[in-house]
Structure 1
Amino acid sequence: MRNEAWITVNCSINGAPFRFTASPATPLAELLRGQGLLSVKQGCNVGECGACTVLVDGVAIDSCLYLAAWVEGKAIRTVEGESIGGQLSAVQHAYTRSGAVQCGFCTPGLIMATTALLAKPHTQPFTVLEIRQGLAGNLCRCTGYQMIVETVQACDRPQE
């Protein structure tokens, strides 16, 4: 059995400072779930399904593939951090209103991928192809994706 050196990392999770000590091989998804952030789903654990998608410095990543050691000094956001003062974010509200939420397993990852996509600078609404490309790594077995695309379109407000 190897003796691993543990590391200490400082970051923020959903706006709050966070310090942890972990093995350098600990996936971010495992760390987040261990902190009670259960929106981070453990689906495939190989970066294929997107159920574990979180934002790291505003970029959507598969947290099952991203090592916790890599978040030093970074800001992590999960679905739990999207609600402010008990109010759903515009993206969360759109997903619940549209019927794009089916079983719900993929929904947190899709919400975070949608949030990252919509934050990208753009002056025209995203096309269906751009939306599909922006969410490409997030699998859903229930919806057939059309409701998801329509939900993103409903949230899309080009930035002037």
Structure 2
Amino acid sequence: MLCPSQVGSGMILVGMADMESASSASDGIARGAAAAGNVTAAEGVAIAEGVAASEGTAAAEGAVVAEGAAVVAEGAAAVAEGAAAVAEDVAAAEGPAIAEDVAAATEGAAVAEDIAAAEGAAIAEGAATAEGVIAAEGAVDMEGVVAVRETVNADGAVNVEVFTA
């Protein structure tokens, strides 16, 4: 058995050894914590880089979608321009045809008016000629008259011939 003084000093030695062990343990714990902190920091950087990469990918995908939408909008604009051009071409093609139809109708009306006027003039001339014949007949004794013939000269003068029996 140890004497109290030895026990006490042994306890001090053991206590010192325990303190050294505790110190070593705390150093190890600190080192472990530091290492864990470095691992955590490294993981945090990796996570942050992953988030940044994801955001970059999302931004790139958004840009692609926006570009696609712009291309679709340009295509729609091109289709609208094409439709407008076709409408203009159709209108341009129909315009002369309509104008020709109107001109033909107008010319037809003018021709009809000319024909009506000519017929009217011929009828009026015929009536005048008939009146002239009647007047001539009235002036001439119609007894023995079998026929009356009228002719128009090249200068427009009317000749009346009366044939008797």
TM-score, with structure 2 as normaliser: 0.12
More helix by share: 2
More strand by share: 1
Q: Which has the larger radius of gyration?
A: 2
TM-score, with structure 1 as normaliser: 0.13
